Structure 1
Amino acid sequence: MATERDELVEFGQRWARAERERDTAALGALLAEDFRAVGPRGFLVDREQWLERYDSGALVHDAFAWEDVEFRRYGDGAVALGVQSQQSTYDGRDVDGHFRVTQYLTRATGAWQIAALHLSPIAGTPAG
């Protein structure tokens, strides 16, 4: 029987796979309707903008990993803290990097979704 932690780990793996494969259909299901992200340089991105990066072909990953993840539960929500490593280009520019990522996950709709995400570059790596 899968534990709740197993469920959250599997959710994170689905998210990383969808990001790596630029699968906007899968990502659309994983992101809450009011999803917001804070990028590595402090800019804000909403759900539509997050998905458009892939639909437009602007963001391409050669590698994308979600590792060293820890979870904390809070009611119908959870916080996932992990490391996102990527080999990527955005509009032809190198955006490789390692980022400490905080995700706020919610189960308000019955299935886990990412409501908010914040990326911070890990010192000594490119900021993306």
Structure 2
Amino acid sequence: MEQDDEELHAFGRRWARAELAGDTDALGTLLTGDFTAVGRHGFVLDRAAWLARYSSGALVHDSFDWEYVEIRRYGCAALALGVQSQQSIYEGRDVDGHFRISQFLTAADGRWRLAGLHLSEIAVRPGAPQP
């Protein structure tokens, strides 16, 4: 089980590197064909729209971290709960932030892929004093 969790943690690190780089080729191999994301303000993006943010140049990250990750396995599916911290620009606007992320992963063809994710903005960075 620990080996499986490490495989999922490694997947998360590959995903974060691809997001930081805006690497649509790498992301394309990590996302399922029917990938769906719920964004920070409740908007929904399908796989094509998620990748288009990078291919259009609209989204650029100066930093992108995936931390505090907890893995829960359910057979050929898994839930990764973690914190995404980013310093980013989207269409010329600052979109820096810290987000609690729920990633929904599935094992298909012998490898893990990201089927969906949901972002919720965090007011205070984890580990910082709470108001």
Relative to the length of structure 1, the TM-score reads: 0.94
- The residue aligned with 2:44 is 44
Structure 2 runs not aligned, ≥5 long: 126-131
In 1: Cα distance, 2:16 partner to 2:29 partner = 13
Q: State the 1:5 CA deviation.
A: 1.1
- The residue aligned with 2:82 is 82
Q: State the 1:81 CA deviation.
A: 0.1
The percent identity for this pair of structures is 64
Q: State the 1:58 CA deviation.
A: 0.1
Structure 1 runs not aligned, ≥5 long: none
In 2: Cα distance, 1:13 partner to 1:75 partner = 21
- Listed one character per residue, the Cα deviations across residues 15-52 of structure 1 (whole Å, up to 9, x for unaligned) are 00000011100000000000000000000000000000
SS of residue paired to 2:111: coil
- The residue aligned with 1:70 is 70
5 Å-filtered alignment, 1:1-128, equals 3-124=3-124
The count of corresponding residues between Structure 1 and Structure 2 is: 124
Relative to the length of structure 2, the TM-score reads: 0.92
SS of residue paired to 1:27: helix
Q: Spell out structure 1 runs of 4+ moving beyond 2 A.
A: none
